[in-house]
Amino acid sequence: MTRPSVAERLPRVLAVLAYLHQEGSASVAELAARFGCTVEWMRRELQLLALCGVPPYDALGAIDVFVDGDQVGTGRLPHFVRSPHRLSRAEGLAVLAAGESLLASGLFDVGPLDEALDALAGALGIDRADVEVVVDAPPWRDALRDAADRSETVELTYYTLWRDEVGDHRVDPLRVALVAGAWYLDAWDHRADEVRKYRVSRVQDVRPTGARFDRPVVLDEPRAFVAPAAAREVRLALPASAAWAAEVYPAEVVARHDDGGVELLLQVVGTTWLERLLLRAGPDARVLEPAELTDLPA
């Protein structure tokens, strides 16, 4: 899982702030589900939000957000959050373009947002048909989403990063969701006989089969990684220079050392990806457990 850019993170934290101002409070899990990220990512974003504000960063300009257990609330918020802001025409056009981008992404129900954009366009005196926004999406996203809507089994040609190989999979698409800036497919894999997660950008081909499925599967909240049954737990020791891996990959930090090094628990399917991580992390990185992997090159 790659780190989202500032351009991706800023709109989300501002939307979270607006939502908290409107609702008063919410759970971390609720915010994560609503804004399409993991609970861990949301906790980090809230920690960042609590450090933000506007100059001179005094009590009037600070963003007062607090987390109590799993509940998130706000104290006194800056004027720019509490009071409606009068937009200039240029700002209104920017908001309109951003709203059209959200609609084009396919992430939201069109109803409320569509009505708001109609009102904004009317206030600006422009025709929404004149505003064209093109959103970059993986080539096979719409085909997979359509297959999920039709409950149609498809065949995928997919690049598996863990094994560094391309293979074919017969799957029942269940959900296509945006998580932490990337699109993922949750699907029932016929060969594995379980729900698997596929990163849509790694799908190389989608072939409809014409077969329909009726599979009563209850999915958890969208996540970037769900370990398959065949995965095994690996414990790594990484130096301070490679501590970034704790935020980039779906890992649990089990120890932090005074020198900045960390120990992580990862769910690993194949060793190819793990070897690459060790090489990137440098000669001081090593596998602690299981014993049969401790001699992997670093």
In the chain, the amino acid numbered 283 is P
Extract the tokens encoding 134.
């093109």
Q: Residue 178 belongs to what H/E stretch?
A: strand 165-179
Each residue's pLDDT expressed in tens, for the chain with a length of 298 residues: 455 666 667 777 878 887 887 788 889 999 888 887 888 888 888 887 777 777 766 666 677 788 888 888 877 666 666 555 677 888 888 888 888 877 766 655 667 778 888 888 888 888 888 877 666 678 899 899 999 989 999 999 998 876 678 999 999 999 888 776 678 888 999 988 888 888 899 999 999 999 999 887 766 655 545 555 667 788 888 888 888 777 667 677 888 888 888 888 887 776 777 787 788 888 888 888 888 887 776 5
* Class (C level, CATH) for 232-293: alpha beta
pLDDT computed for residue 171 by the predictor = 95
* Class (C level, CATH) for 6-82: mainly alpha
Inter-residue contact 131 to 120 (CB < 8 Å):
no
Q: Does domain 141-212 have CATH number 2.30.30.530?
A: yes
Q: What angle do CA 237, 243, 245 make, to 5 degrees?
A: 90
pLDDT computed for residue 195 by the predictor = 83
pLDDT computed for residue 59 by the predictor = 63
pLDDT computed for residue 178 by the predictor = 76
pLDDT computed for residue 146 by the predictor = 92
β-bridge pairing 65-68 and 71-74: antiparallel
pLDDT computed for residue 1 by the predictor = 46
Q: Which long-range contacts (CB under 8 A, 24 or more apart) does 283-286 make?
A: 284/238, 284/239, 284/241, 284/242, 285/236, 285/237, 285/238, 285/239, 285/242, 286/236, 286/237
Burial label, 159 (beta-carbon count in 10 A; 0-12, 13-18, 19+):
middle
DSSP collapsed to 3 states, 84-129: CCCCCHHHHHHHHHHHHHHHHHCCCCHHHHHHHHHHHHHHHCCCHH
The alpha carbon of residue 259 and the mean position of all alpha carbons in its chain are separated, in whole angstroms, by: 30
Domain boundaries, the chain: 6-82, 89-130, 141-212, 232-293
pLDDT computed for residue 46 by the predictor = 85
